Structure 1
């Protein structure tokens, strides 16, 4: 089964994007204030850049203030082609 999954190109691309998203989050984590670190989650990487998921609108606003520093960090760490960061507020699901 592992060999079959390894040969599946769409799954390989997904796995690469997940790994890249995680690596980007590791790169910027120390730039986030301690209070924000738990309220920010790594989102998807796509052709337009990388998405950070904010727990609420206040967190998103603070992240927008930090964007230049975060994007510069990514450039310095080797993502010069597309360091653009998008911010989305996670929707809360009523249960």
Structure 2
């Protein structure tokens, strides 16, 4: 039984993304989204932090993925403070959306 073809060159995900402009742009947006979350995380109550994940970033619109509607309700009250912090830090974010993630079954 012939073995599958293996390339002598193995690339890391970062190297592959850097070689493809579309993947590089996606990777940069992921980095920016993670950076934004790190900027606002200190403003969140400690109990809510594990329930929030950085979501998609599109131009000036950013989405936070939240694990429960209760957490989403509390975070909604904090959105003005989040936007203020991001503006202070030089992020071009104008709107933050919250999306409650459905539990995976």
TM-score where L is the length of structure 2: 0.81
Residue 90 of structure 1 aligns with which residue?
101
Aligned residues: 93
- Residue pair 1:18, 1:45 contacting (<8 A) in 2 also: yes
Q: Does 1:30 align with 2:80?
A: no
- Residue pair 1:74, 1:83 contacting (<8 A) in 2 also: no
CA RMSD of aligned residues (A): 1.5
Residue 24 of structure 2 aligns with which residue?
12
Residue 21 of structure 1 aligns with which residue?
33
How far apart are the structure 2 equivalents of 1:21 and 1:43? 7
Q: Which runs of 4+ in 1 moved over 2 A?
A: 1-5
How far apart are the structure 1 equivalents of 2:68 and 2:16? 40
TM-score where L is the length of structure 1: 0.89
Mark the structure with the bigger radius of gyration: 2
Greater share of residues in helix: 1
User: Which blocks of at least 5 consecutive residues in structure 2 are unaligned?
Assistant: 1-10
How far apart are the structure 1 equivalents of 2:67 and 2:104? 12
Q: Report the alpha carbon displacement of residue 47 of structure 1 after superposing the two structures with TM.
A: 2.9
User: Which blocks of at least 5 consecutive residues in structure 1 are unaligned?
Assistant: none
